[in-house]
Amino acid sequence: METVSAQKRKTTASEPSPSLPLYRSAPELEVSLDDFELYAIDRLRVLKAMSDGLSRGKKPDEIGALVTELWKEHMQHPNPSDVMNKDIISHFVLRLVYCRTEDLRKWFLSMETTLFRHRFRLESLEVQRMLMSEFKLPFKALSNSEFEAVKEKLGQVARSINQPLPTVDSTIFKVPFEEVPELVAGRRVYMLKGDAYVAMNQVASLVVTQFRSHLSKALVLTNRKWTSMIQEQEKDRLTPIVEALSSSYLGPDYSQPKEYAEISIKDIDRVANSSFPLCMRHLFDKLREEHHLKHGGRMQLGLFLKGVGLKLDDALAFWRVEFSKKVGTEKFDKEYSYNIRHNYGKEGKRTDYTPYSCQRIITSTPGVGDHHGCPYRHFSEENLRAALSKMGVSSRTADDVMDKVRHRHYQLACTLTFEAIHSCSCDAGINHPNQYFTESQKILQQRSQAAE
């Protein structure tokens, strides 16, 4: 059993709320290395699913329902007293994982804040009040006389946003406006001389701002500690886990292809046409056209084909056929076949490389002469429309796809394409090219079986 301590601070004696921790300081708990990783993965599932929901444009109440569902699904523990521990530990582990670059910090901050906001809202007013005081915010509620002085204006604001009128029993906080930018922006509070008058039911905004501010600073500090000390100190223990977690794609990794996905070299052209996602089709077409692909393309397509079920011998044959047209068989055998065997884990480190997920492909940066990467991201509008049309996508659908692209929802764009071509919906959304392939094949086979 080994102890995890992300920051050297004193523990708070006990958490005020039975279910919603504030993560003010790292707990002095003991956790096994396995749990260290597994707890983090479970929390990451929640955050990623939430992130997905947000980018699909789900509304706040839908997100709230989603959060409840996800929390129940992933963050439970057989031992009820460990539920809170899992919550706290997973959060702090993910801080280590996501503190290391500005993009990671931004994402994590955004997701944890959203998660906190929704969980806070679900709590009773009692608990909310308790949590508020935990933040030790020096805001006092208005006294009766103060309330009388602004009662009318408060009422006017309440009516303007369809909220119940405040009464002498309502708790109203006088707060510097900087603390509640969302409420100010929406004109949802009465403003007087720099103070915003915040009703109890708006308190979430206040607390969330504090939460985010605190976490944001904490992440910067964590990053400093990580780079200056922890990363090196833990290089044989926690560091490999932490580094793997940040790029983890949490679906199946397609390193072991399923039975019905096995294809042979004769099938390639046919399945490329029917079931490859655009990124792989493009690489495939270019390969057929130019009899060559640069390294990035060879990796992306090669690993994809492996995931799709192409055996090593078939892969070697396939690539040889194409490359030899350009560079000759001898050069192929000497220079390129090694890499293919490497991908299958037959050379060198003998790591069995896994096919790239969408996340990885989208963030790659193809240069001149490259054809890898995500076409939804990297193609010009003109080229993308042409490519979609070649795949049989109507121009109406192409418009929807372009709309997703403009908003940088590349995976949603690919999902739309999938749905258009297969004339059915794909609720899970595409996040791995091999998933696209598998789903496609499933549908086509179901249809051909039904036809028989």
Partner 1 sequence: MTDKGNNGVDEMQVDVYTHEQRKKGSIPEGFNADYLKLYYAKLFPHVEIFKWMSYGNDGKHPARDTSYFGRREFSFTLDNDVYLRFQSFNSAAELENSIKEKCPFKIDIGPVYSVDPAKRHAYAQAGDNVFKPVERELVFDIDMSDYDDVRYCCSGADVCLSCWPLMTIAIKVIDFTLREDFGFNHILWVYSGRRGVHCWVCDGRARRLNNEQRAAIADYFRVYKGNENSHRKVSLAGPAMHPFISRSYADVLKLFFEEKLLCGQELLSTEERFQMILDMIPDESISGQLQERWKASWRPSMSKEDINIVRWGQLKHILQSGKQKAPVLRRCVEEIVFTYTYPRLDMEVTKHMNHLLKAPFCVHPKTGRVCVPIDPEHCEDFDPTSVPSLAELLEELNMAGSSNADSGWEGTSLAKSVSFFKSSFLQPLLKSCKVFLPPMPSELECQPIQLVSAGVDYL
Closest CB to partner 1 among 178 and 289? Answer: 178
| Member of 216, 231, 274, 397 binding partner 1 (CB under 8 A) | 216
Shortest Cβ distance from residue 204 to partner 1 (Å)? 16
Greatest alpha-carbon pair distance for the chain in Å reads: 93
Among 56, 140, 187, 237, binds partner 1 (CB under 8 A): 187
The phi and psi torsions of 161 (rounded to 5 degrees) equal -115, 20
Q: How far is the CB of 153 from partner 1 (least distance, A)?
A: 5
Q: Is the CB of residue 415 less than 8 Å from the CB of residue 429?
A: yes
Q: Which residue, 176 or 369, is less far from partner 1 as judged by CB?
A: 176
Local structure of residue 311 (DSSP, 8 states): -
Q: Which residues of 238-267 are buried (b: 16+ CB within 10 A; e: fewer)?
A: bbebbeebbebeeeeebeebeeebebeeee
Q: Which stretch binds partner 1 (CB under 8 A): 177-185, 236-244, 248-256, 305-313?
A: 177-185
Q: Which residues contact 90 (CB under 8 A, 6 or more apart)?
A: 39, 40, 42, 43, 75
Other Cβ atoms closer than 10 A to 392: 11
Mark 352-370 as b/e (b = at least 16 C-beta within 10 Å).
Answer: ebbbbbbbebbebebeeeb
CB of 177 to partner 1, least distance (A): 7
Annotated ligand binding at 99? The verdict is: no
424 is an annotated ligand-binding site residue: no
Residues 406 and 400: their CA atoms lie apart, in Å, by 10
Tokens for 302? 């090669």
Amino acid, single-letter form, for residue 170: S
Q: Work out which of 106, 237, 334, 408 binds partner 1, going by CB under 8 A.
A: 106
Binding test (CB under 8 A) with partner 1, winner from 125, 149, 220, 317: 220
Beta carbons of 57 and 66 less than 8 angstroms apart = no
406 lies in the binding site for partner 1 (CB under 8 A)? no
CB of 197 to partner 1, least distance (A): 11
Q: Which is nearer to partner 1, 56 or 217 (CB)?
A: 217
- C-alpha 328/C-alpha 341 separation (Å) is 19
Smallest gap, in angstroms, from Cβ of residue 181 to partner 1? 4
Among 23, 108, 190, 211, binds partner 1 (CB under 8 A): 190
Q: What is the CA radius of gyration of the chain?
A: 27
Which stretch of DSSP H or E encloses residue 389? helix 381-391
> Does 182 interact with partner 1 (rule: CB under 8 A)?
yes
Residue 80 interacting with partner 1 (CB under 8 A): no
Q: For residue 334, what are the contacts with CB-CB under 8 A and spacing of at least 6?
A: none
Least Å distance, CB 176 to partner 1, is: 4
Helix H, strand E, coil C: the string for 165-211 is: CCCCCCCEEEEEHHHCHHHHHCCCCEEECCEEEEEHHHHHHHHHHHH
Which C-beta is closer to partner 1: that of 113 or that of 274? 113
Contact indicator for 395, 385 with CB cutoff of 8 Å:
yes
The residue type found at 209 is T
User: How many residues form the binding site for partner 1 (CB under 8 A)?
Assistant: 36
- State the angle between helix axes of 60-74 and 33-55 in degrees (0 to 180), rounded to the nearest 10: 160
For residue 227, the minimal CB distance to partner 1 (Å) is 8
104 binds partner 1 (CB under 8 A): no
Residue 165 within binding range of partner 1, rule CB under 8 A: no
**Residue nearer to partner 1 on the CB measure, 167 or 273:** 167
Stretch that binds partner 1, among 61-69, 217-225, 287-295, 436-444 (CB under 8 A): 217-225
φ, ψ (nearest 5 deg) of residue 129: -60, -40
CB of 61 to partner 1, least distance (A): 20
Q: Which of 33, 125, 149, 192 binds partner 1 (CB under 8 A)?
A: 192
326 lines the binding site for partner 1 (CB under 8 A):
no
- Residues in binding site for [4Fe-4S] cluster: 279, 358, 374, 414
- Residues in binding site: 279, 358, 374, 414
Summarize as ranges the residues that interact with partner 1 (CB under 8 A): 102, 105-106, 109, 136, 138, 153, 156-157, 159-162, 176-179, 181-182, 184-187, 190-195, 209-210, 213, 216-217, 219-220
